[in-house]
């Protein structure tokens, strides 16, 4: 049986409408679940950066929440380093804030291709049972070779000793720049010292092998065949630990440790 042209067009149109409704309704109904999963993944990465979870562990949502109990997310004003208690850390979206001209500003010149800076950021304070600061986990981002890498850097309460580094989103090449996810490379970070004795940020991913943290405190092994991504890691650490990043916040933490 041969259908008329009008019938064929109408039928194809109907199929398009049905598919569009199906795709858009599933996108809407799944968006909450996606947001919850993204939030959970972020928490897992905070735990990984802080060494409170290991890459080999497969934690379910309840286990992540349980371990996260010692972590206190705090919203800070980046420029002053002061806490901004009026902003709810559980709902604050730093990327959204960075893209909104009302809650961000142009970034000063930098080597990480960061064009705007949010006025506020969420940092994660890891506390012991007595409520004392053990570590602080800072969100970092910056350009590698192909993409912006998003991750977390964990510093000891001394605000200079690295406790861990992890990336939860990037588009670098697997096997090259994508080796930022390699647990062996990440294991090279704990114990490195981010600053020199004058307070300059000197941590650096070098080309080739670095010595152990005791002998070579400021340098970390480069990623083989991925010097550009490696340089991107150096650049973003120097930016976020510097005066335009979390420098003011880290200064405040140092001062409060001295006075307590
Ligand atoms: C397909 C392809 C993908 C690449 N991906 C990366 C990458 O993700 N990160 C990176 O730094 N270099 C990457 N490179 C290599 C860079 O172009 C460049 O050669 C390298 O960063 C230089 O590092 P090296 O001096 O350690 O060899 C890639 C090269 C090719 C051909």
Query: How confident is the model over 185-200, as pLDDT tens digits?
Result: 999 999 999 999 999 9
Q: What average pLDDT does range 61-79 have in this prediction?
A: 96
Global pTM? 0.89
CA distance 203 to 181: 19
Q: Residue 89 falls within a domain, yes or no?
A: yes
Q: pLDDT-based confidence at 36, cuts 50/70/90? A: confident
At residue 34, the pLDDT reads 86
CA distances from 28 to 34, 37, 38, 171 (A): 10, 15, 16, 26
Confidence of residue 113 (pLDDT cuts 50, 70, 90): very high
- Please tell me the distance between residue 225's alpha carbon and the centre of ligand 1 in angstroms: 6
Does the beta carbon of 227 sit less than 6 angstroms from any atom of ligand 1?
A: yes
- pLDDT-derived band at 38 (thresholds 50, 70, 90) equals confident
Distance separating alpha carbons of residues 76 and 65, to the nearest angstrom: 23
**In this structure, is residue 39 part of a structural domain?**
no
Q: Is 83 in the pocket of ligand 1 (CB under 6 A)?
A: no
CA of 224 relative to ligand 1 center, distance in Å: 9
Report which ligand 1 atom has the smallest distance to the Cα of 224. Answer: 26
Assigned domain for 6 exists: no
Query: What tokens does 116 get?
Result: 């705007």
- Mean per-residue pLDDT for 104-112? 96
How far apart, in Å, are the Cα atoms of 105 and each of 92, 114, 150, 244? 17, 11, 19, 12
Q: What pLDDT was estimated at residue 107?
A: 96
Q: Check whether 259 has a pLDDT greater than 80.
A: no
For residue 33, name the pLDDT band (cuts at 50, 70, 90). confident
In a domain? residue 95: yes
Q: What is the pLDDT of residues 148-184, one digit of tens each?
A: 999 999 999 999 999 999 999 999 999 999 999 999 9
What would the pLDDT profile of 139-148 be if each residue is shown by its tens digit?
Answer: 999 999 999 9
Structural domain total, the chain:
1
In short, whether 228's Cβ falls inside 6 Å of ligand 1 is yes
Cα of 231 vs centre of ligand 1, distance in Å, is: 11
Name residue 121's beta-bridge partners.
76
pLDDT score recorded for residue 30: 82
**What pLDDT sits at residue 168?**
93
| pLDDT tens profile 14-26 | 999 999 999 998 8
- pLDDT band of 211, cuts 50, 70, 90: very high
Q: How far apart are CA 239 and CA 201, in angstroms?
A: 9
Does residue 241 register a pLDDT over 90? yes
38: in domain: no
Range of the domain at 115: 70-259
* 152 touches 138 (CB < 8 A): yes
């Amino acid at each position: 049986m041969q259908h008329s042209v009008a019938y064929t067009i109408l039928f194809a149109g109907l199929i398009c409408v049905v598919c569009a409704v199906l795709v858009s309704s599933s996108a809407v109904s799944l968006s909450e679940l996606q947001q919850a999963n993204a939030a959970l993944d972020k928490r897992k990465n905070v735990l990984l950066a802080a060494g409170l979870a290991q890459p080999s562990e497969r934690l379910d949502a309840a286990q992540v929440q349980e371990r996260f109990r010692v972590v206190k997310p705090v919203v800070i004003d980046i420029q002053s380093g002061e806490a901004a208690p009026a902003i709810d850390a559980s709902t604050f979206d730093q990327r959204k804030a960075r893209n909104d001209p009302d809650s961000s500003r142009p970034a000063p010149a930098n080597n990480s291709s960061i064009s705007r800076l949010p006025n506020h950021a969420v940092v994660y304070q890891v506390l012991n049972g007595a409520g004392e600061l053990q570590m602080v986990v800072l969100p970092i981002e910056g350009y590698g070779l192909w993409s912006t890498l998003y991750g977390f850097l964990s510093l000891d309460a001394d605000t200079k000793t690295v406790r861990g580094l992890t990336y939860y989103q990037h588009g670098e090449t697997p096997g090259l720049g994508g080796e930022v996810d390699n647990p062996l490379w990440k294991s090279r970070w704990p114990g490195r010292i981010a600053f020199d004795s004058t307070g300059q940020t000197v941590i650096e991913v070098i080309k080739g092998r670095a010595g152990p943290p005791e002998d070579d405190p400021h340098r970390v092994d480069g990623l083989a065949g991925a010097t550009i991504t490696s340089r991107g890691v150096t650049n973003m650490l120097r930016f976020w630990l510097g005066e335009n990043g979390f420098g003011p916040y880290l200064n405040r933490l140092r001062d409060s440790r001295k006075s307590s």
